Amino acid sequence: MKNVKGKGRTEMKLLRIRSMKTEDLDDVLEIEKASFTTPWSRNAFLNELRDNQFAHYIVGEKDGTVVCYGGMWIIINEAHVTNIAVKPEYRGKGLGKIIMLELIERAKLMGCDAMTLEVRPSNSEARALYHKLGFRVKGIRRGYYVDTGEDAYIMWKENL
């Protein structure tokens, strides 16, 4: 667990980062539903937290409320970001960047030297953040998103 000073444009002063617990799932699912057209279910998150030995999930909380989260799988020496989301009223304050930087740091500590993720080409804000953090498009997954049939850019950050 760590406290991170936000670089947000508003009153966001302190974000507490810690590992996700099953008790966080109501808040996480609320953010998930507000963020994605095909949100993960409670059972999907429970499986990640309880049964997936490769999974590592974190949350960011402000004043005791979960306002953002992110997750990744660590497979040998690579980290695969599974999801990242910020509560709508907290977007634009740098929280996505804070969560990504924490995932990168944790991946490095677990021996990873590269990180990958998929992102919608239409999600220009996320793509800009990932690019700023050193991720580059290395491929395309055709028709990856089942809700729209949209492709996914496969982005990689090497030499963590």
Q: For 42-88, what is each residue's pLDDT tens digit?
A: 999 999 999 999 999 999 999 999 999 999 999 999 999 999 999 99
Q: Per the confidence metrics, is the pTM higher than 0.85?
A: yes
Percent of the chain with pLDDT over 90: 88
Question: 86 lies in a domain?
Answer: yes
Structurally, how many domains does the chain consist of? Answer: 1
Q: Do residues 95 and 60 make contact, with C-beta atoms less than 8 angstroms apart?
A: yes
Predicted pLDDT of residue 14:
83
Q: Which of 95, 80, 75, 78 is nearest to 35 (CA)?
A: 95
Distance, first Cα to last Cα, the chain:
21
Question: 140 lies in a domain?
Answer: no
CATH number at residue 60: 3.40.630.30
Active site residues: 118, 130
Question: 124 lies in a domain?
Answer: no
pLDDT at residue 101 is higher than 70: yes
Which two three-digit tokens encode residue 156? Answer: 């990689």
Helix (H, G, I), strand (E, B) or coil at 31: helix
Domain span holding position 53: 2-112
Question: 104 lies in a domain?
Answer: yes
Pairing relationship of beta strands 78-86 and 14-19 according to DSSP bridges = unpaired
